[in-house]
Chains A and B, each alone.
Chain A
Amino acid sequence: MPDTTEAPRPMTRPAPQPAAQAPASASRPVRFRGGGFVAEPRRWAALLAFVIAIAAWEASGRLRLVSPLFLPPPSAILLALQGLVADGSLARNLAASLMRIGVGWTLGTAAGVLVGFAMGIWSIARAIGLPAVSALFPIPKIALLPLFILWLGIGEASKFATIGLGVFFPTVIATYSAVDGVPRNLIRMGQSFNMPWLDVLRKVVLPGAMPGILAGFRISASIALILVVSAEMIGADYGIGAFVLNAGNLMLTDQLLAGVLVLSLLGLAIGTALSLLEKTLLKWR
């Protein structure tokens, strides 16, 4: 082994040849330059930027630089939020939306992972699935709402379908790409050792595809949050989406932003939960 590494050295580094005359420079310590933009924790920076942005926002409202109708200051939004908590409507709206997101996302994701897996494994499924996904994914689900009403009514079923369909396609793409991206040599090795088909799937493909699938979950969870607003356009009395739509219709901008704040907090919570899931599921890395 050392012989082979020794041989090409003069060929790859012809430049240092003249310098090699001076023996002192050969042992000169060189500062480590390969930082590679390593991310270091800078908690205070994010916090400070956040505090400054909020303070500037509040000040622009207080100083009447911006009309509170156009951009309600953070204090007004918190006040609106407090009102929602006080009369119990926040809990009722959250419960309704979480149920819809939970059921819709679970159904859409389960179906998406199954289809994506099938497409990653079987060529026939891939041949059918890829063009179908390309054709159906770009259809705006909102445009189909009237049809969903006819097919599924105005109850919870159409809301699950809106969220589920929206989540399904990105999950299919993420799962399919993840399965497709599992190193071939690992799969071939398992097959060469005559590993049972199911074991190859369970012990090689699934863990190998998991990072990609989980990244897909991150996207689809955010999509579910976005779609809960469109889902609740149809006959919803309660729900964060219904609340946001209603506040918009009534031009109550502080309540509108309070609802949006709840949605983004919900996104943050789901993101944190997914990070925890990633940590436990991807321990093997």
Chain B
Amino acid sequence: MNPRTRQFYGALGVGRRAVLALALGLGALSALPAPASAQGEKVTVAVLPLSSSAPIFIAHKRGYFSQEGLNAELRSFSAAQQVPVAVTSGDADFGITGLTAGFYNLAAKGTVKIVAAQSREEPGYQLSAYLATKAAYDAGFTTPAQFKGKRVATTTAGSTFHYMFGLLAEKYGFSTKDIQMVPLQDVPKMVAAFKGGQVEGMIAPVTVARQLEAEGSARILGWVGDVTPWQLGALFTSPETIRTRRATVEKFVRAYQRGAADYNNAFNVKDTTGQPGKGPGYDELLAIIAEATKQKPELVAVSLPFIDPQGRLLVDDVVRQTKFWQAEGQVDKALDPLSTVDLSFVNGHLLTQK
């Protein structure tokens, strides 16, 4: 190697280090503040800092885990895919997040099992919005049924957005192939493509949808919960943990259910006029969620999802999700849909057929 080339390699080393630093930064995760009491059996929970994991934050802050003799440590991740991976690798004992095709692929490998429900799309709850760009809306794209034949922004194949379009297609009698889904990896890039008029529509989280509508670049066509209710997220652990530490899982689910009950008592109430009201502990719980999600309480208040007060699953939908991903060729056909859930920890799961 001549000195000139060597000099050049040296110059490029800076670039390589920058790439490495970026890779490390992407993989980084931050631990949330430790609980007041650090006693009892240690359990680690992988969460995303989103309102849909509110029962965990509430149970943690109000000491429900320590009352069950558990010392829960919350670890915050930045993407839904990382959460089941953390449970698979043993970095976390429990995980709670949205259900994606990646989750079911891990379930097919026998590393994760659902034990309780997280949030779900429910009529009357504004969690995910169908959006059309202003231009597409003016050109006549005014109802969710018209997504057929449109070009839309999504994060990735196998994401919750992909499934919601699948549900929409099924409801209005067309196929996911009739929607041109453009994978853009994350919501900021979806917004960029949407604002730039590169796509005609998308499904977006409520906060993003509201902001885009306020800016005048989007029109909200409807809410996923009203059109196609489904089980958005779940609490899960590894089959190994269920086998060897069954009592721990039972304690954890009990504490989680108390958090879910508090959540519903505070937020899921109607006043005498039928409008959403404020239940006991409203402000305190709102502050807990705001702190955990690092968002302003006002913003949290308008984007609270439906969470079953007892953590009961829409079992039919979990089965439907598995079958959908199998039909899309994203998940191993050999996976038995019911093997992804362990229904023994929560009473009265919501299922219409066996």
Contacts and interface: CB of A to CB of B under 8 A. Distances in A.
Which of A69, A137, A153, A236: most chain B CB closer than 10 A? A69
A185 to B, nearest CB: 16
Interface string A140-163: 101001110110011000000000
B11 A173 contact: yes
Contact of A249 (B158, B189, B195): B158
B179 interface: no
A174 interface: yes
B8 A212 contact: yes
Given A140-B18, A149-B196, A250 B158 contact: yes
A76 to B, nearest CB: 12
Contacts of B157: 246, 249-250
Interface residues of B, number: 45
Interface string A192-216: 0000000000000000000110011
Given A69-B88, A245-B185, A235 B4 contact: no
B189 A145 contact: yes
A251 B4 contact: no
Contacts of A173: 8, 11-12
Given A69-B109, A249-B156, A251-B106, A153 B184 contact: no
A9 B191 CA distance: 79
A219 interface: yes
A276 to B, nearest CB: 18
Which of B5, B84, B199: most chain A CB closer than 10 A? B5
Interface string B172-195: 000000000011110011011101
A252 interface: yes
B22 interface: yes
Interface string B59-100: 000000000000000000000010011001100000000001
A138 interface: yes
A233 B189 CA distance: 10
Contacts of B18: 138, 140
Contact of B330 (A70, A150, A250): A250
B22 A234 contact: no
A257 to B, nearest CB: 15
Given A249-B156, A250-B105, A250-B158, A233 B192 contact: no
Given A177-B4, A251-B102, A149 B85 contact: no
B189 A177 contact: no
Contacts of B156: 245-246, 249
A226 interface: yes
Contacts of A140: 18-19, 22
A149 B198 contact: yes
B15 interface: yes
A151 to B, nearest CB: 8
B107 to A, nearest CB: 10
A89 to B, nearest CB: 11
Contacts of A102: none
A246 B101 CA distance: 11
A178 B8 CA distance: 9
B193 A235 contact: yes
Nearest to A153: B198
A249 B79 CA distance: 10
Interface residues of A, number: 40
A112 to B, nearest CB: 13
B205 to A, nearest CB: 17
B105 A252 contact: yes
A223 B12 CA distance: 11
Contacts of B8: 173-174, 177-178, 212, 215-216, 219
A251 B85 contact: yes
A197 B207 CA distance: 63
A232 to B, nearest CB: 9
A173 B13 CA distance: 12
Interface in B28-57: none
Contacts of B100: 249
B102 to A, nearest CB: 4
Given A69-B109, A219-B12, A245-B156, A146 B183 contact: no
Contact of A233 (B88, B106, B184, B196): B184
Contacts of B89: 70
A146 B188 contact: yes
A136 to B, nearest CB: 12
B85 to A, nearest CB: 7
A242 interface: yes
Interface in A124-138: 137-138
A150 B195 contact: yes
B4 A234 contact: no
Interface in A218-252: 219, 223, 226, 233-237, 242, 245-246, 248-252
For the complex of A and B, 6 pairs with smallest distance between CB atoms: A146-B192, A149-B192, A235-B182, A181-B4, A251-B102, A215-B5
Given A177-B7, A235-B182, A246-B156, 11 more contacts: A140-B22, A149-B189, A150-B196, A169-B15, A173-B8, A215-B4, A234-B184, A249-B101, A249-B156, A250-B101, A251-B102
14 contacts: A69-B111, A145-B189, A146-B192, A149-B184, A212-B4, A219-B9, A234-B184, A234-B189, A235-B184, A237-B183, A249-B156, A250-B331, A251-B81, A251-B84
Interface of A: 69-70, 137-138, 140, 142, 145-147, 149-150, 153-154, 169-170, 173-174, 177-178, 181, 211-212, 215-216, 219, 223, 226, 233-237, 242, 245-246, 248-252
